[in-house]
């Protein structure tokens, strides 16, 4: 009894299969999750590389500002340590690091030189950090397979 319906069932399954194939062709090839993740990693990498080229980019500004802040804090600590050591030398009657008559000028010169140096170093450090992050995204993308 069931055998008499078998040709119709087979024809129906073939029709469903053909409809499914037509639907897949119409939709086109859908990217896999790995392909989407790879594309996102490459887009993130490209965004960072563009940020490196533009000093007015928000990413570049923020990373540079963070680096500059850390370097300035270090400079302030260094100056504080130097002034403290200078006071100790004075109290012990030894030769001081600064000429007492020119101490203000010496500190001003130190801060000016440190500020110039810190600005250049902060930019260099920021570029290195952004490049490192871009390389990380490149590595992440290559982990998914062929990278464009």
- Its sign, for the CA torsion 120, 124, 125, 129, is positive
pTM equals 0.68
- The encoded tokens of residue 67 equal 């680096």
pLDDT tens readout for residues 2-46: 556 667 666 766 777 777 767 766 666 777 888 888 889 999 999
- The encoded tokens of residue 136 equal 């990380």
Helix and strand numbers, DSSP H then E, in the chain: 4, 0
CB 143 within 8 A of CB 35: no
pLDDT tens readout for residues 113-135: 998 899 999 999 999 999 999 99
pLDDT of residue 89: 87
């Amino acid at each position: 009894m069931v055998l008499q319906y078998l040709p119709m069932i087979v024809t129906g399954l073939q029709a469903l299969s053909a409809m499914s194939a037509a639907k897949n062709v119409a939709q086109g090839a859908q990217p896999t999750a790995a392909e989407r993740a790879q594309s996102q990693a490459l887009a993130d990498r490209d965004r960072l590389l563009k940020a490196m080229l533009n000093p007015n980019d928000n990413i570049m500004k923020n990373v540079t500002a963070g680096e500059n802040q850390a370097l300035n804090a270090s400079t302030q600590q260094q100056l504080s340590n130097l002034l403290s050591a200078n006071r100790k030398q004075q109290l012990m009657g030894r030769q001081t690091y600064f000429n007492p008559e020119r101490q203000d000028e010496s500190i001003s010169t130190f801060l000016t030189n440190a500020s110039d140096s810190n600005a250049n170093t902060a930019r260099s450090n920021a570029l290195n950090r952004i490049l490192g992050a871009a390389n990380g995204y490149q590595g992440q993308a290559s982990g998914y397979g062929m990278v464009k």
